[in-house]
Chains A and B, each alone.
Chain A
Amino acid sequence: MMLVPCPNCGPRNASDLRYVGESHSRPNPNEVTPQEWRTYLYMQDNPAGLLKETWYCRSGCRQYFTALRNTSTNEFTNHPLPGNKTGAVDPSFHYVSESKSDTNDGASS
Chain B
Amino acid sequence: MSEFASSVVKTYNETASSSLTLSDLSATTKAIVRAGQGTDAAAGLGAPFGTSRVVDGTLVVGVRPTEWVVLGPAEAVWAFTDAIDNTGHVSKIDFTHSRALFRLTGEDAPKVMEKICSIDWADAMMPDSAVVSASVAKVSCDIIRNDVDGTRSYFIMSDRSSAQYLFDAILDAGEEFKLGVTRA
Contact = CB atoms under 8 A, between A and B. Distances in A.
B98 interface: no
Interface string A27-61: 00000000000000000000000000000001111
A60 B118 contact: no
Nearest to B133: A60
Contacts of A86: none
B119 to A, nearest CB: 9
* Chain B binding surface SS class: strand
Nearest to A3: B118
Contacts of B73: none
* Chain A binding surface SS class: loop
Most buried by B among A1, A8, A9, A61: A61
B135 A63 contact: no
Interface in B42-76: 49-50, 64-65
B132 interface: yes
Contacts of A16: 118, 134-135
Interface of B: 49-50, 64-65, 118, 132-135, 140-141
24 contacts: A1-B118, A8-B49, A8-B50, A8-B65, A9-B50, A9-B132, A9-B133, A9-B134, A13-B118, A15-B118, A15-B135, A16-B118, A16-B135, A59-B133, A59-B134, A59-B135, A59-B141, A60-B132, A60-B133, A60-B134, A62-B64, A62-B133, A63-B64, A63-B65
